[in-house]
Structure 1
Amino acid sequence: MELFARDGYAETTAVAIAERAGVTERTFYRHFGDKREVLFGDGDRLVRLLVDALPNPPEPLGQALRDALSALAADMTPRRERLAQRAALIRAHRELAERELLKGQSWAEALARVLIDRGVGELTAIAQVEVALALFRTAFARWVTGEDDLESLIDQAYAATGLPLTGRPAPA
């Protein structure tokens, strides 16, 4: 992140990253496919964290997904400064923004697959996951700019929709 901030993303090479980390270029490429992966390397860990946080059975579904988002928020909170720098870098570079969208899609697919395997209908699982992750992205975007705490922003995003946490329609 320091190299990207100092030299610019396009100008920072894998060689420079390897040198900064005290490893060879060859070692760098054993761990990362390219310099973008430095920013996205923990994607698999975060998917596991989300999936592991889902209760089994996932009932009520809305609360199960909210619990998974709480686990994600707890994991991210100590890394706020680094994540804010990362988010600014991603916003500034289209190819990184595209990669971020793909990461979000992998989260959605993994969560929906687990829910379907646990007996949730396909349409329900996909729709609920997409809504939960959209609310998370909304909260995260505000959080990295310095607003509030992430958990509170997730609650605010949910409240702004008027959607119940239970995944069932609110009583009339």
Structure 2
Amino acid sequence: MNSQRRVGPAFAMTAGVAGALVLAAMFPANAVGEWNTPTDPWEATQEWIMTNSLHAEPGMAPIPDSIEPLEQTAEGYFLYGAVSQAGSVMFGFVNETGGVTCGAAEGTPEEEPEFSVAECGWGFSDPDYFGAAWVELAPASPTGYRHHLRSFATQAELDASFADHENSAE
């Protein structure tokens, strides 16, 4: 009788240890699986912004707490506003795979008011997408920024828009 009592607990202990080893072996595959990557498009885009701003020109990296999504396009791009490490306004037109960032590397709105606004235009070739935007600090706004985003069907339309803008400033 004693031998039967010893077999049961030994078998249960062996099965428990084997199960623990199997779970421990499976942990690394589950810890780095697809489930822990951001599924929300803005979260994935923010991750791209922060990862790629590590290589930015000095002063052009955004202050993480200042990044605000302003608009999302039908193509999945986000226009975001931020304050750069240099203290000037900057913005980006990006998705989780890339985009464009605009702003000034030097100067703050306190030093020179023009650093409270950033504007630029861009063109992507795959797919064809041409756009322009400006972003301005606006502390009274819910996001802290005012902005205007425009898209164009062709590079010529984008160029004409900037030519009109330059002519109206004269």
Higher relative contact order (CA 8 A, sep 6+): 1
Task: Give the TM-score of the pair, scaled to structure 2.
Answer: 0.30
The structure where helix makes up a greater share of residues is 1
